[in-house]
Amino acid sequence: MSQTRHVPVMLQRCLDMLAPALQEPGGVVVDCTLGLGGHSQALLERFPGTRLVALDRDKEALRLSGERLAPFGERATLVHAVYDELPEVLARLGIPKVQGVLFDLGVSSMQLDEADRGFAYAQDAPLDMRMDQTTGLSAAEVLNTYPPGELVRILRAYGEEKQAKRIVSAIVREREKEPFTNSARLVELIRDALPQAAKRTGGNPAKRTFQALRIEVNGELSVLERAIPAAVSSLAVGGRIAVLSYHSLEDRLVKQVFAAGAANTAPPGLPVVPERYQPRLKLLTRGAELPTEEEVTQNRRAAPARLRGAERIREDVA
């Protein structure tokens, strides 16, 4: 599998955002979503005095990135872990605080491009969708075993799918005849289930259902809910975090954590605000930054990206 087609999203902007925290030699930067290692390689090249710790739950991604990052030797430590396990990973490595953290959320190019992983609706494949294929339920098992009400909830909450009830009715009817195994049958069923008007907008009509299944299979939002606060807590004062998200649910979650960290939590009317109420974060982006038109033209997968950043300006005070 070629690594050349993988273009890291908003790479230059991410590097520039993290740069002020990574100028001093001896710092540690964490790539919480290693994937094919594009961002990690760029971090190691741009900040030669920095050590990288990179996490991924996908063993195949770790193997391929390991080859790519091998020239950097001991500067790169790759760990098989989900990104909400960051505190445990750092404790195990004896790293109390880090200077930079990067998240590039969503599905890696490798997972989308390897047909047999079942992430892409454009090609027929087994309905797997697990980022770590050694554990958990596959997308087929979710489709075939979840109660109808739970499937409707998942499609609405994680896919923002307005036609969830209609799609789930068709899924339940079809799974009784024969369990789902492959993506093409699901894509066809969704096309048939949707009214004409719903098919005219928003690209492939299966996109939202596939997104919802992927998030459910990998527990992505619950993992992210734990991971972003954990990453903020792991930052040294002056450390920076950059997060790329690809749909509104992820972006909203990141926005909430950053906004809470940047807020003054003192009761109104205090003449002097005690340390424990002072903001811990300074926001580095006004709202979410978007990729340039030029980047989207060069890399279609950058189109939905939203970048937010924050700097740690104060320790937690108990």
Nearest C-alpha neighbor of 132 from the set 56, 78, 31, 73: 56
Q: What is the pLDDT of residues 38-78, one digit of tens each?
A: 999 999 999 999 999 999 988 888 999 999 999 999 999 99
Contact 176, 165 (CB under 8 A): no
- Both tokens assigned to 53: 């710790």
Question: Could you tell me how far CA 216 lies from the centroid of its own chain?
Answer: 13
Q: What is the pLDDT of residues 251-286, one digit of tens each?
A: 999 999 999 999 998 888 888 888 888 999 999 999
Contact 277, 317 (CB under 8 A): no
pLDDT tens for the 318 residues of the chain, in order: 334 446 789 999 999 999 999 999 999 999 999 999 999 999 999 999 999 999 998 888 899 999 999 999 999 999 999 999 999 999 999 999 999 999 999 665 444 545 555 556 667 888 988 888 778 899 999 999 999 999 999 999 999 899 999 999 999 999 999 999 999 999 999 999 988 776 666 678 888 899 899 999 988 899 999 999 999 999 999 999 999 998 888 999 999 999 999 999 888 888 888 888 899 999 999 999 999 999 999 988 889 999 999 999 999 876
116-218 in CATH: which number? 1.10.150.170
- The domain limits of the chain are 11-110+220-312, 116-218
Which DSSP string do the residues of 81-106 spell out, in sequence order?
Answer: --GGGHHHHHHHHT---EEEEEEE-S
- Both tokens assigned to 251: 């972006």
> How far is 138 from 158, CA to CA, in rounded Å?
16
CATH superfamily of this structure's domain 11-110+220-312? Vaccinia Virus protein VP39 (3.40.50.150)
Task: Give this prediction's pTM.
Answer: 0.85
| Secondary structure (3-state) at 281 | strand
Which segments are annotated as binding site for S-adenosyl-L-methionine?
Answer: 37-39, 56, 83, 104, 111
Name the packing angle between helices 148-159 and 164-177 (round to 10°): 140
Q: How far is CA 275 from CA 269, 280, 315, in A?
A: 15, 10, 9
pLDDT, position 239: 98
Which segments are annotated as binding site?
Answer: 37-39, 56, 83, 104, 111
Q: Give long-range contacts, CB 8 A cutoff, 24+ apart: 147-156.
A: 148/172, 154/212, 154/213, 154/215, 154/216, 155/208, 155/209, 155/212
